[in-house]
Amino acid sequence: MATSSSGSTKTLSRLPRLAKQLTAVAALCASTASFAATWPDHPITLMMGFSAGSGVDVIARSIQEPLQEALGVPVVIDYRPGAGGNLASAAVARAAPDGYTLLLGTAATHGINPAIYKDLPFDVEDDFTPIAPLVDVSNVLTINPKVIDVNTVGEFIAEVKANPDKYYFASTGIGTGTQLAFEEFNARAGLKMVHVPYKGGPEALQSVVKGETCCIFNQVQTVLGQHKAGTVRLLGVSTAKRIDVVKEVPTIAEQAIDGFDSYIWFGLFGPKGMSPELVTKINAAATQALKNPDVATRLVSTGNTVHVSSPDAFRDLVHKNRSKWAGVVEAAGLTPQ
């Protein structure tokens, strides 16, 4: 078959342009690789959507120094509390994907908030780069025995079922993780309880201590002090395995609800578009920090479970967690704000 001379001419005319495009791509790849090789060369900002002294801050402070050692530059914590962590998330979503602005995200910011806030200025999956999980934190069913005198999760369920609408549970606010943890438990246990939201963690826990409410689902590290003081009783942890710091407290699954496994996680995110090379370097630094014996001991002593995995596995966790909490919010009948 004869070949058209005009077709050959057109093909030949495209070759220089194609060569230029390939050269540009190669230059871009080389530039990215060069940047990743020299990164970081100045301080990194770790954005925090919650206030100093909060449970999230404990995690940030625990990993700050070992991250600095692993990366070789200062890591500066920038507190941007407000809107359930959304202010800090929005700032990171708008940042350049150069690895110098990171977010300490949580199951609340990237799992619960998308179901609670209907007009978020970002998408928690599309507008962020998952880098590394840090820790998982169990919630624990915490009661005031002067209000509801039971010793096991099974006894708690039986007592509440026998007295519908009698018992009030506390939370740190409508749509927060503490409310949704209890809503998930109530749905699985078939319970009906009255929800009383408070302005924050200290107020909610004090309502249980004072007997204004009977109980709360809260992070282990938050209730440890009251537990040691004997003012509250811990009935069951929400994770599938027991927690070292309160090893004597059985899981909810082994007492009453088969397969119950619910927890809050914390992890590092960057803006979308970060290069795989940068993500790999930060993930490796986070892993190094978490494997530091002093850091691991400090985290475990406050009720955390160290969580090391790949960026891809962390991305899958975020996606599944978002779907899970959307179902809990819908089942609880909560209207997005």
Point out the domain boundary residue: 231, 255, 279: 255
In a shared domain, residues 131 and 146: no
Does residue 112 lie within any of the structural domains? yes
Residue 305 domain boundaries: 41-135+264-332
Residue type for 129, please?
Answer: T
Pair 72, 132: CB distance under 8 Å = no
In a shared domain, residues 147 and 248: yes
**pLDDT for the residue 11:** 52
Point out the domain boundary residue: 221, 255, 289: 255
Point out the domain boundary residue: 255, 272, 302: 255
Does residue 64 lie within any of the structural domains? yes
In a shared domain, residues 280 and 248: no
**pLDDT for the residue 3:** 47
**pLDDT for the residue 34:** 63
CATH number, residue 242: 3.40.190.10
In a shared domain, residues 214 and 242: yes
Does residue 31 lie within any of the structural domains? no
In a shared domain, residues 208 and 274: no
**pLDDT for the residue 26:** 52
CA distances 48 to 44, 82, 226, 259, 267, Å, are: 13, 10, 26, 33, 11
Joined together, the tokens standing for residue 267 give 């992890």
Pair 47, 91: CB distance under 8 Å = yes
In a shared domain, residues 279 and 249: no
In a shared domain, residues 234 and 295: no
Residue type for 60, please?
Answer: A
Does residue 337 lie within any of the structural domains? no
CA distances 290 to 20, 104, 126, 231, Å, are: 45, 15, 27, 33
Joined together, the tokens standing for residue 204 give 């909610």
DSSP 80: -
Look at the chain and report how many structural domains it folds into.
2
Residuewise pLDDT in 10s, the chain (337 residues): 444 555 555 555 566 665 565 555 554 454 555 656 889 999 999 999 988 877 788 899 999 999 999 999 999 999 999 888 999 999 999 999 999 999 999 999 999 999 999 889 999 999 999 999 999 999 999 999 999 999 999 999 999 999 988 999 999 888 888 999 999 999 999 998 999 999 888 899 999 999 999 999 998 888 999 999 999 999 999 999 999 899 999 999 999 999 999 999 999 999 999 999 999 999 999 999 999 999 999 898 888 999 999 999 999 999 999 999 999 999 888 888 7
Does residue 195 lie within any of the structural domains? yes
**pLDDT for the residue 184:** 93
In a shared domain, residues 54 and 87: yes
CATH number, residue 271: 3.40.190.150
Joined together, the tokens standing for residue 237 give 């942890």
CA distances 274 to 112, 186, 278, 299, Å, are: 24, 40, 7, 28
Does residue 11 lie within any of the structural domains? no
Does residue 312 lie within any of the structural domains? yes
Does residue 19 lie within any of the structural domains? no
